Amino acid sequence: MSIVYSKKDRIWKLDTPHSSYLMAAVDEEGFLGHVYYGNKVDDLGIDYLTRAYAHPFVPSENARERCSFMDLFPAEYPGFGLGDYRTPAFCVRTASGSRGCGLFYRSHKIYAGKPGIPGMPATFAGEDEADTLEILCEDPENRLEVTLYYTAFRNMDVITRSVSFRNKGNEMITLEKVMSLSVDLEDPGYETIGLFGSWARERHICRNPLGMGSYRIGSFRGESSHQEHPFLALCTKGADSDHGQVYGFHFLYSGNFVAEAHRSQFESVRVTMGISPEGFSWGLMPGETFSLPEAAMVYSSEGIGGMSRTFHRLYRKHLIRSPYRDTPRPVLINNWEATYFDFNTEKLIDIAREAAASGIEMLVMDDGWFGARSYDDKALGDWIANEEKLPGGLPVLSERIHELGLKFGIWMEPEMISPDSDLYRAHPDWAIAIPGRTPAMSRCQYVLDITRREVLEYVYGCVRNVLSSTRIEYLKWDMNRQLTDVFSLGLTAEHQGEFYHRYVLAVYELQERLVTDFPDLLLENCSGGGARFDPGMLYYSPQIWCSDDTDAIERLSIQEGTAMVYPLSCMGAHVSDCPNHAVGRNTPFQTRGHVALAGTFGYELDITRIPQEDRRRIPDQIALYHSFGDLIRRGDYYRVANYSENGLYDCWAVIAEDKSEALVTYVQVLGQPNYKARLLILKGLDPDGIYEISATSEEDHFEPVMVRSGGRKEPEALRLSGRTLMNAGILADRMWGDFRSKLYHLKRVEL
Ligand code: DGJ
pLDDT at 709: 45
Q: How confident is the model at residue 45 (pLDDT cuts 50, 70, 90)?
A: confident
Q: Is 530 in the pocket of ligand 1 (CB under 6 A)?
A: no
Q: Is 499 in the pocket of ligand 1 (CB under 6 A)?
A: no
What does pTM read for this prediction? 0.97
Residue 500 has pLDDT above 70, yes or no: yes
User: Which residue CA neighbors atom 9 of ligand 1 most closely?
Assistant: 528
Q: Which atom of ligand 1 is nearest to the CA of 411?
A: 7
Q: Which atom of ligand 1 is nearest to the CA of 527?
A: 3
CB 709 within 8 A of CB 732: no
Residue 707 has pLDDT above 70, yes or no: no
pLDDT at 544: 98
- Cα(221) to ligand 1 centroid in Å equals 18
Q: Is 366 in the pocket of ligand 1 (CB under 6 A)?
A: yes
The closest alpha carbon to 715, from 674, 664, 670, belongs to 664
Q: Which atom of ligand 1 is nearest to the CA of 547?
A: 3
CA dihedral 434, 439, 445, 448 (to 10 degrees): 0
* Weakest mean pLDDT among 63-67, 135-139, 372-376, 398-402: 63-67
pLDDT at 312: 98
- Cα(480) to ligand 1 centroid in Å equals 7
CB 589 within 8 A of CB 617: yes
Q: Write the pLDDT tens digit of every residue in 183-209.
A: 999 999 999 999 999 999 999 999 999
Q: Is 548 in the pocket of ligand 1 (CB under 6 A)?
A: yes
pLDDT at 699: 67
Q: Is 478 in the pocket of ligand 1 (CB under 6 A)?
A: yes
User: Which residue CA neighbors atom 2 of ligand 1 most closely?
Assistant: 528
- Cα(478) to ligand 1 centroid in Å equals 7
Which residue of 337, 339, 445, 480 sits with most ligand 1 atoms within 8 Å of its CB, as the best mutation to test the pocket? 480
In percent, how much of the chain has pLDDT > 90? Answer: 92
Q: CA–CA separation, 543 vs 573, rounded Å?
A: 10
pLDDT at 725: 97
Long-range CB pairs of 651-656, under 8 A, 24+ apart, other chains included: 651/680, 651/732, 652/560, 652/563, 652/598, 653/682, 653/683, 653/684, 654/568, 654/598, 654/628, 655/684, 655/685, 656/631
Q: Write the pLDDT tens digit of every residue in 203-250.
A: 999 999 999 999 999 999 999 999 999 999 999 999 999 999 999 999
User: Which residue CA neighbors atom 10 of ligand 1 most closely?
Assistant: 367
Q: Is 430 in the pocket of ligand 1 (CB under 6 A)?
A: no
Mean pLDDT of 575-591: 98
Mean pLDDT of the chain: 95
- Cα(358) to ligand 1 centroid in Å equals 25
The number of helices, as runs of H, and strands, as runs of E, in the chain is 15, 39
| 604: exposed, middle or buried (Cβ count in 10 Å: 0-12, 13-18, 19+) | buried
Residue 537 has pLDDT above 50, yes or no: yes
Residue 545 has pLDDT above 70, yes or no: yes
pLDDT at 53: 67
Which residue of 223, 336, 524, 603 sits with most ligand 1 atoms within 8 Å of its CB, as the best mutation to test the pocket? 336
Q: How many CB atoms lie within 10 A of CB 703?
A: 13
- Cα(468) to ligand 1 centroid in Å equals 23
Q: Which atom of ligand 1 is nearest to the CA of 334?
A: 5
Residue 12 has pLDDT above 60, yes or no: yes
Q: CA–CA separation, 743 vs 105, rounded Å?
A: 56
User: Which residue CA neighbors atom 3 of ligand 1 most closely?
Assistant: 529
Residue 459 has pLDDT above 60, yes or no: yes
Q: CA–CA separation, 70 vs 102, rounded Å?
A: 10
Q: Is 367 in the pocket of ligand 1 (CB under 6 A)?
A: yes
Per DSSP, the residues of 27-66 read TTTTEEEEEEEEE----S--THHHHHHHGGG-TTT-GGGH
Mean pLDDT of 304-310: 98
Between 39 and 673, name the one with better pLDDT: 39
Residue 700 has pLDDT above 70, yes or no: no
Active site residues: 478, 548
The closest alpha carbon to 701, from 744, 651, 735, belongs to 735
pLDDT at 258: 98
Q: Is 336 in the pocket of ligand 1 (CB under 6 A)?
A: yes
The whole-angstrom distance between residue 270's C-alpha and the CA centroid of its chain comes to 23
Q: Which atom of ligand 1 is nearest to the CA of 376?
A: 11
Mean pLDDT of 689-711: 67
Mean pLDDT of 273-280: 98
Instruction: Considering only CA atoms, give the Rg of the chain.
Output: 27
pLDDT at 711: 43
Cα–Cα separations (whole angstroms), residue 380 to 412, 468, 585? 9, 19, 32
- Cα(367) to ligand 1 centroid in Å equals 7
427: alpha, beta or left? (left if phi > 0; alpha if psi -120 to 50): beta
Residue 174 has pLDDT above 70, yes or no: yes
Q: Is 337 in the pocket of ligand 1 (CB under 6 A)?
A: no
pLDDT at 192: 98
Residue 321 has pLDDT above 60, yes or no: yes
Q: Is 604 in the pocket of ligand 1 (CB under 6 A)?
A: no
Amino acid at 683: K
Three-state SS at 579: coil
pLDDT at 54: 66
Q: CA–CA separation, 193 vs 423, rounded Å?
A: 44
- Cα(529) to ligand 1 centroid in Å equals 6
- Cα(528) to ligand 1 centroid in Å equals 6
Which residue of 548, 580, 604 sits with most ligand 1 atoms within 8 Å of its CB, as the best mutation to test the pocket? 548
**Structural domains in the chain, sorted by start:** 3-318 (2.70.98.60), 640-749 (2.60.40.1180)
- Cα(524) to ligand 1 centroid in Å equals 12
The closest alpha carbon to 127, from 240, 44, 3, 211, belongs to 3
CB 237 within 8 A of CB 264: no
Q: Is 411 in the pocket of ligand 1 (CB under 6 A)?
A: yes
Residue 710 has pLDDT above 50, yes or no: no
Q: How many CB atoms lie within 10 A of CB 454?
A: 12
